[in-house]
């Protein structure tokens, strides 16, 4: 990074928190994993599940450049995507609708006039694989979905880490989602690679959970799935014809928490 002071904004979406940087003028050279990891550190930096840079992109309203809390480039982050849409509206880059580009391709999103509720369209999903009784799929990031009882009492860090680092998934990494069906929603807790800990929410994770739930239960048509996570409530809606999941939307809050500058 060429600058000595980095202006930033902090956003959270259902407890998933992110550091946002306006890099439309490409001032910040951000390929610096150790520095980014320190900025994301909750004791020695700002603190966040990741950091992202809003940049220009030809043919799109903006580009989302995202790094995990370990400072390394990440696959798609759903709640991060929703938060950067809210950030773009705050900056005046967009109004209530947008098409932006992320690491997994173009995304359409719509944001409420209030600026704090975002519906983000995710990539279509064709393939769901089985690992024993569990499910593996990619919703922009790779996810492992396991249905369980008493998820609120589960040791998500230990159990999630054991799956993430087993011989099947260790090299590329995978996010682990523990799901408990309730009467009117699914309760989800997630261990995230890159953060290497449990997070309060995971957007691509709850999306994977909703799709796996429909697949497991033979549900087709237009489906809406309310989700509760440690950080709040999210909603997934999609269309499933028995072969491919399309028109997938991740919906939920995205709010600015504070702003400041950090010395580099």
Catalytic residue positions, numbered? 77, 202
CA distance linking residue 11 with residue 84, whole number of Å: 8
CA distance linking residue 164 with residue 144, whole number of Å: 9
Q: Print burial letters for 199-226: b (CB count within 10 Å at least 16), e (below 16).
A: bbbbbbbbbbbbbbbbbbeeeeeebebb
CA distance linking residue 16 with residue 48, whole number of Å: 8
CA distance linking residue 252 with residue 79, whole number of Å: 8
CA distance linking residue 213 with residue 57, whole number of Å: 36
Nearest to 49 by CA among 20, 6, 27, 29: 20
């Amino acid at each position: 990074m060429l600058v000595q002071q980095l202006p930033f904004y902090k956003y959270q979406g259902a407890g998933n928190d992110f550091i946002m940087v306006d890099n439309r003028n490409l001032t910040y050279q951000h390929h610096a994993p150790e520095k980014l990891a320190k900025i994301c550190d909750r004791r020695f930096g700002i603190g966040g599940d990741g950091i992202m840079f809003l940049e220009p992109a030809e043919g799109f309203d903006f580009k989302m450049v995202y790094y995990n809390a370990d400072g390394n480039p990440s696959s798609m982050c759903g709640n991060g995507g929703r938060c950067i849409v809210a950030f773009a509206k705050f900056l005046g880059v967009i109004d209530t609708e947008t098409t932006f580009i992320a690491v997994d391709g173009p995304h359409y999103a719509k944001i409420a006039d209030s600026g704090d509720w975002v519906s983000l369209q995710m990539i279509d999903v064709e393939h769901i694989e089985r690992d024993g009784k569990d499910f593996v799929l990619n919703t922009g990031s790779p996810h492992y979905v396991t249905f369980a009882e008493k998820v609120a009492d589960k040791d998500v860090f230990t159990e999630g880490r054991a799956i993430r680092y087993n011989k099947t998934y260790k090299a590329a990494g995978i996010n682990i989602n523990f799901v408990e069906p309730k009467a009117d929603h699914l309760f989800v807790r997630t261990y995230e690679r890159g953060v290497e800990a449990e997070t309060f929410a995971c957007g691509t994770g709850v999306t994977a959970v909703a799709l796996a739930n429909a697949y497991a239960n033979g549900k087709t048509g237009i489906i809406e799935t309310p989700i509760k996570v440690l950080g709040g409530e999210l909603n997934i809606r999609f269309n499933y014809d028995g072969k491919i999941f399309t028109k997938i939307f991740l919906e939920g809050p995205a709010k600015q928490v504070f702003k400041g500058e950090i010395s580099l």
